[in-house]
Amino acid sequence: MAGDVSVNLAPQTSKLENSTKTSFVYLVRSGQHLKIGRTKNVQARFLALQNATPAKLRLIRYFEVPAEEVIGIEYEAMVTLKSQGYHVRGEWFSAPTDLALRAIYQAIEAAKPNGKPIVTPA
């Protein structure tokens, strides 16, 4: 699927773990459903989700953002998808990948202080 990102989840020091000043907003796909979430450690969260889910999950993309912005960005992206009728349950949506990514990008853009970028490419 276009826009997917392969991620090596082998234990190692990488961008999948971060400092205390930043967190991650991530997008995971399971079949027809997407999950928008937040975490301090993408690798640990993805593995926990995979262990709790019978279907194979795919990590689509993750964004490193300031810790103080992560909850608002996650919330705004979810509200956007809910308002468009894609909500399934909790943090799970039936939206196309590109639409979910656009909702996250828009939430990140709205959170920029003084027009300065807040996302570290992940």
Residues 6+ apart with CB under 8 A from 65: 22, 23, 24, 25, 73, 108, 111, 118, 119, 120
- Reported as a single tens digit per residue, the pLDDT across 55-104 is 999 999 999 888 888 999 999 999 999 999 999 999 999 999 999 999 99
Q: Is the pLDDT of residue 21 over 50?
A: yes
Q: Which of 3-17, 34-48, 87-101 has the lowest mean pLDDT?
A: 3-17
pTM of the predicted structure, to 2 decimals:
0.78
Mean pLDDT for 37-53 is 94
Task: Kindly report which listed range (2-6, 49-53, 112-116) carries the lowest average pLDDT score.
Answer: 2-6
| pLDDT (mean) for 40-48 | 95
Whether residue 77 contacts residue 104, with contact meaning beta carbons closer than 8 Å, is answered with yes
Tell me how far CA of residue 95 lies from CA of 3, 4, 10, 54, 59, in angstroms. Answer: 14, 15, 29, 21, 15
Q: Which helix (H) or strand (E) holds 38?
A: strand 33-39
